[in-house]
Structure 1
Amino acid sequence: EKSRLRRLWTISEELRAAALEGGKSSEIIDSSLERLIETAPVVGGGAKSVKEAVNNQEVYQSLVNPSSGDKGIETGIHELDELTNGLHGGELVVIGARTSTGKTAFALGIAAHYCAQGGSVLIFSLEMTRLALIHRILCAEARVNSQNFRKGFLTKEQRRPVNAALTEIMKWKLYIDEQSSHDIGELLSISRRESAQHQIDLIIVDYLQLVHARNKQDNRVAEITAVTQGLKKLARDQDIPVIALSQLSRAVERRGGGDKRPQLSDLRESGSIEQDADVVVFIYREEVYKPGRPDLSGKAELIVSKQRNGPTGVIKAAFLKDYARFANLEGFRAE
């Protein structure tokens, strides 16, 4: 105990000196937080025998009776939830797609579905403003045409579901950080702070390639590696799923044979993303490449190309373009 107190004194003195010297406050805070966490007594950590690890009734029952185990956070797309059993704590989930295919819409759909159930979600929106995201969520939930909403062309009947949806959304535990530039250190510091204040259950980063390493690097692949490793560490330390949206390389467009379905090798600066991700889901909408085919309208594929703890597969889904919303295909047909 005395040794720990001496270490705390040292950290406080070094923190004071660093603050007086100047520099980025976020880096000083993050470095100090890491050292404080290392200094804290280990509670439930350290190496354990198998007997110690399962010496808990809840853990034991989840192993001998898997059906009683906790299901992860549901996305709202039933077949995807069946395949993945939800999004689990400690997982880095990468959602990849070409520009304007629906990455943000899909992530917002997951956030909305979970918040409506009482969950707490933190979104880092590095490309869109907080208000723009709220507009998109509102249109998707109220099911009103997003273009008409932006232009103010809503009838009296259409305004009713908008007002009802806004009333519900304002009750959600949804937190949006709209800073357009973050390094991974700043993102981790904000995540820890918000998690402590609001008990965050899910973090979404939109999008991965806009996050920078703490120290600027000439090699972009090395920089992305630092970012993905930081996000993976965040997921494990907080024991929550972290969703990172990712751009794809232009190799998809150049691929011959007419099949533009994304592959793991299409992830931009892909080496570390593919390695660090626990789950990789690609969004593919054939109508984007074949706009003259009305039979493809509203159809989407969610391609689970990697799942560290489960199978891969392709899920058919609906994309409601007017509302920028993904939905279950059977529900779409029913409409």
Structure 2
Amino acid sequence: MDVTEDPQVTVFISYSHKDERFKEALEEHLAVLRRAKKISHWSDRKIVAGSSWAAEIDRNIETADVILLLVSPSFVASGYCYEKELARALKRHEAESAVVIPVFVRPLDLIDEPLMGLQGLPKDAISIIEWQNEDLGWRDVARGLRVVIDELLERKRRYHEPSGFSTLQETLAEMVESLDRRDKSGPISGISFGLHDVDHLTDGIHAGQLITIASRPSMGKTNLALGIVSSVAVSGLPVLVFSTKTPRRDVMNRLITITGRVSHTRFQVGRLNDDDWPRVTHAVHQLAEAQILFDDSTDLAFSALRERCISAKRKLGALGLVVVDSVSYIKVSSETGAHEEVIARGLKALARELDCAVLVTAPVSRTVEIRPNKRPNSPDLQNWRELADESDLVAFVYRDEFYNFDSPDRGTAELIIAKNQYGQVGPVRLVFAPEYGTFSDLTFNP
């Protein structure tokens, strides 16, 4: 797309040829949007002689921003419409790469049909032919479509908006302002991790930063990430959490037990003691005032992650932190390049686009377990080395007691800062309380 031109939304119309008159009526009511150059629409009537009709349909349905399904008994009876085009549309809907809208043109029984999970038009799923005045029904369809089209156009304009150039003088002025803010900000210039020793080494969390926390399983990286979520959110900054591994209810339970320092086991089974209740109440009160959004989708495409982040920022006005647990669950199209490389670069670009920090958890290769010193380092990320290259901060969680039951370091953990844009690298020793799932400072005395 030429970014100098206004973007358009591409619309694919799927219909049975027995409903040709409804397709033509729809096109008439889309004329206003078409003349305003907000949309371009396509149906199989645009296939020219000599073309492969199946290939043309496939190409256009895969590239459309909006897929309209003209639903009728004939549509459902059509093997190609229902089994081919609907299946492709639903696949793109699930990947959130297109908006799929059923347009009911003739009445039929659709109970338990997959497309009934989609919000359709006209309102209340009253088919066009059932309206006393069909034009009023089509007007209702056109108004519903306009809302969708305008929202998609806003996203496209924002995505393709050039950043422009900055002069040396403007950049210098921004740098001086930044230095002045940092001078007045206190001990750190970023957002606190909630761990003073970590803050001291890293200067906190900064907007536009990509942070990777990695470890072998059961080291506590998810709990550490949620502890950071709690700290940032309770400080008053909005947080968006993608918990691909864990249902949002379990994430919420963890946040309560971490924030309130309550036994997770007792909380899960509902056996709280007298000391637990005030802590739970305090944690609930703190979190109730916080702005945290959850997304526990198990199938998460990077394009969908980006759109949801942008939507959350629009809803909340700003974001302080985005957390993805775990990066391994993010998917990208196989056509865009190496999976890990595309995701790593995309996450860094997303942090800059959102102007907030993005924190991801990542796995560490099991090869560390055959070494005498099992502390992980950047090469142990293996397939995710590109993530380490793109990240501004890379930290590994290590607990010696996991491998050595009688370890003298039992009850502690190391957060090994392996890469740090804003400060030094090295290990930070923390207290780890497995009962609560919390990490806290070992040496800091407030």
| TM-score, structure 2 as length reference | 0.66
Checking the alignment, whether the CA contact within 8 Å between 2:7 and 2:153 is kept in structure 1 is no
In structure 2, the CA distance between the partners of 1:117 and 1:217, relative to structure 1 (3 Å rule), is same
| Structure 1 SS opposite 2:67 | helix
Give 2:97's aligned residue: 27
Return the alpha-carbon distance in structure 2 between the equivalents of residues 229 and 236 of structure 1. Answer: 11
In structure 2, the CA distance between the partners of 1:129 and 1:38, relative to structure 1 (3 Å rule), is closer
Return the alpha-carbon distance in structure 2 between the equivalents of residues 302 and 113 of structure 1. Answer: 17
Superposition RMSD in Å: 2.8
Give 2:443's aligned residue: 330
Checking the alignment, whether the CA contact within 8 Å between 2:6 and 2:157 is kept in structure 1 is no
The code of the aligned residue for 1:37 comes to: R
Tell me whether 1:316 sits opposite 2:433 in the alignment. no
Indicate the structure (1 or 2) with the bigger Cα radius of gyration: 2
The code of the aligned residue for 1:287 comes to: E
In structure 2, the CA distance between the partners of 1:139 and 1:216, relative to structure 1 (3 Å rule), is same
Give 1:280's aligned residue: 394
| Structure 1 SS opposite 2:353 | helix
Q: How does 1:62-81 map to 2 (within 5 A)?
A: 62-63=178-179, 67-68=183-184, 71-81=189-199
| Structure 2 SS opposite 1:106 | helix
The Cα shift of 1:314 comes to 1.3
The Cα shift of 1:305 comes to 0.3
Checking the alignment, whether the CA contact within 8 Å between 1:299 and 1:318 is kept in structure 2 is yes
Give 1:253's aligned residue: 369
The code of the aligned residue for 2:245 comes to: E
In structure 2, the CA distance between the partners of 1:162 and 1:192, relative to structure 1 (3 Å rule), is same
In structure 2, the CA distance between the partners of 1:64 and 1:240, relative to structure 1 (3 Å rule), is closer
The code of the aligned residue for 2:40 comes to: E
- Equivalent position to 1:186, from 275, 293, 304: 304
| Structure 2 SS opposite 1:79 | helix
- Equivalent position to 2:237, from 109, 119, 125: 119
Structure 1 residues 67-101: Cα deviation after superposition (integer angstroms, max 9, x where no partner): 24681111011121111111111111000011010
Give 2:272's aligned residue: 154
- Equivalent position to 1:269, from 362, 383, 402: 383
| Structure 1 SS opposite 2:211 | strand
Return the alpha-carbon distance in structure 2 between the equivalents of residues 247 and 114 of structure 1. Answer: 24
Give 1:37's aligned residue: 158
- Equivalent position to 1:13, from 40, 50, 59: 40
Structure 1 residues 137-190: Cα deviation after superposition (integer angstroms, max 9, x where no partner): 111222221112212222233223212221221221111111111011111111
The code of the aligned residue for 2:373 comes to: D
The Cα shift of 1:324 comes to 0.1
Return the alpha-carbon distance in structure 1 between the equivalents of residues 357 and 189 of structure 2. Answer: 12
Higher relative contact order (Cα pairs below 8 Å, separated by 6+ residues): 1
Structure 1 residues 12-48: Cα deviation after superposition (integer angstroms, max 9, x where no partner): 32699542374624224799666422554x5xx4222
The Cα shift of 1:286 comes to 0.6
The code of the aligned residue for 2:66 comes to: A
Return the alpha-carbon distance in structure 2 between the equivalents of residues 113 and 61 of structure 1. Answer: 26
In structure 2, the CA distance between the partners of 1:33 and 1:27, relative to structure 1 (3 Å rule), is farther
Range with greater deviation from structure 2 (272-281 or 62-71): 62-71
Tell me whether 1:168 sits opposite 2:286 in the alignment. yes
| Structure 2 SS opposite 1:296 | coil
The Cα shift of 1:304 comes to 0.7
Checking the alignment, whether the CA contact within 8 Å between 1:225 and 1:273 is kept in structure 2 is yes
- Equivalent position to 2:205, from 87, 92, 96: 87
The Cα shift of 1:276 comes to 1.1
- Equivalent position to 2:342, from 202, 212, 226: 226
Return the alpha-carbon distance in structure 2 between the equivalents of residues 299 and 147 of structure 1. Answer: 20
The Cα shift of 1:238 comes to 0.9
Return the alpha-carbon distance in structure 1 between the equivalents of residues 400 and 360 of structure 2. Answer: 23
| Structure 1 SS opposite 2:258 | helix
Structure 1 residues 205-264: Cα deviation after superposition (integer angstroms, max 9, x where no partner): 000011111x14798xx1111111111111011111000100111111122xx2111110
| Structure 1 SS opposite 2:443 | helix
- Equivalent position to 2:413, from 285, 297, 300: 300
Return the alpha-carbon distance in structure 2 between the equivalents of residues 116 and 317 of structure 1. Answer: 21
| Structure 1 SS opposite 2:40 | helix
Range with greater deviation from structure 2 (281-290 or 10-19): 10-19
Tell me whether 1:209 sits opposite 2:328 in the alignment. yes
Q: What are the ranges of 5 or more consecutive residues in structure 2 without an aligned counterpart?
A: 9-35, 44-63, 69-88, 100-150
| Structure 2 SS opposite 1:27 | coil
Structure 1 residues 33-64: Cα deviation after superposition (integer angstroms, max 9, x where no partner): 66422554x5xx422232121235xx424347
In structure 2, the CA distance between the partners of 1:65 and 1:159, relative to structure 1 (3 Å rule), is closer
Q: Aligned pairs, how many?
A: 320
The code of the aligned residue for 1:299 comes to: T
Checking the alignment, whether the CA contact within 8 Å between 1:281 and 1:303 is kept in structure 2 is yes
Return the alpha-carbon distance in structure 2 between the equivalents of residues 15 and 278 of structure 1. Answer: 44
Give 1:238's aligned residue: 354
The Cα shift of 1:113 comes to 0.8
